[in-house]
Amino acid sequence: MSLAPVGTETLRRQNTARVLRSLREEGPAGRARLAELTGLSRATVGAIVADLTERTIATEGSSRAQGRGRPVRPVALRPGAVLGLGMEVNVDYVAAAAVDLAGRVVATRTRPSDVDGAVDGVGRLGAELVEELGEDRFVGACLAVPGLIERDHRTVAWAPNLRWEGVRPSESLRRHLGPDLGQDVVVENDANLAALAEAHHGAALDHQHALYLTGTIGLGGGILESGRLVRGGGGFAGEIGHLPFGDRDAECGCGRRGCWEASVGLEAMLELTGEPAHDDPVAAAASVAARSDEASVRRALEELGRRVGLGIASLASILDPDVVVLGGYFAPLSPWLLPSADAALLERLPTAGRRRPTLRAGALGIDAAALGAAEHALGAVLDGTAALPDPSVVA
């Protein structure tokens, strides 16, 4: 039948993806061990390894003795051979990152920006990274946006802090990244991607069920269930910033009052602590941390932590995460926020015996969403739905 070649190609990609995932998650291994880990036949693994080494995507080391068995030639992913490009656009900054198939962070960049020039700013930053590392190494690109993303992963339905509604940023990014990479830029929520990054590289590395909270101008959440992102029926799961957990009189950037974001977002933190505005949320938090010897600042951070903890208590009752990761500006302030947040969480548990989630500071700082976007960009190769580069384009 005419569909047979397509089916064969799909199967080949899926089998290759199983080997790639094994090498990424378990590390270097010989062909026989790869067959055990992937459930593929040794002949299939042999053909895949030969193809990957021909493309210089993997390397096969020298034979070495392993107990009384036959010598083993360990297969490993070659660092930097295949890359995913991640970008983030936010109110005050843009960021870009590159991650390789082995999960190694190859490069990160962050730059101040503004709402009106955000798309061009992140496009230029991404293009600089691509030019520096080599366009042919990149197999995909993803943009992190603080807002609601349609299921097409191209359209930003609503991002109030960016003043975006119905915007398709990939069309503008194409001018900077070129037609090959730019036309396939996917768009995803920033908190979802930061959660993915913390699961692969940071504070949620050892947990399958996690909740990630952003701490930038806005407030968003990323939910991981069994290690996978929870997107919900319309793709909007995790939009927690506008839940009515905050001061009912506090006005939010969305135009309503009482949103959690209006009580714990960056602007609320600056107002509580008496800190002037900053271009970088993490830098703002570091400045506040430097004033932590002031009694008024400590009281303000204790109150902020209480507000955070009360919101987490409601979310924990619904989602039951193992760990809650506080990212963005929350992380540098975690020594002062976490104790009061944990106390508020404990106070609001329905029973004293109820297991409560561990609260942790994010480990990745301002780069989290861009790193998660780079991981997302590699996803199609790692799940077998996209092809690897041809041998001629991998240096």
- What average pLDDT does the chain have? 90
The string of pLDDT tens digits covering residues 291-304 is 999 999 999 999 99
Residue 206 pLDDT greater than 60, yes or no: yes
The string of pLDDT tens digits covering residues 79-91 is 999 999 999 998 8
CA distance 75 to 167: 44
Measured over the CA atoms of residue 313, residue 319, residue 324 and residue 330, the dihedral's sign is negative
Residue 350 pLDDT greater than 80, yes or no: no
In single-letter form, the type of residue at position 83 comes to L
The string of pLDDT tens digits covering residues 3-61 is 444 578 889 999 999 999 999 999 999 999 999 999 999 999 999 999 999 999 999 98
Residue 392 pLDDT greater than 90, yes or no: no
So what's the pLDDT on residue 78?
95
Residue 360 pLDDT greater than 90, yes or no: yes
What's the rounded mean pLDDT across residues 265-281? 89
In order of their start, the domains of the chain are 4-77 (1.10.10.10), 83-192+369-388 (3.30.420.40), 205-363 (3.30.420.40)
Q: How far apart are the first and last CA of the chain?
A: 37
What's the rounded mean pLDDT across residues 204-224? 92
The pTM (predicted TM-score) of the whole model is 0.89
- Do the beta carbons of residue 111 and residue 123 sit within 8 Å? no
User: 266-273 and 295-319 are packed helices; what angle lies between their axes, rounded to 10 degrees?
Assistant: 150
What's the rounded mean pLDDT across residues 269-297? 92
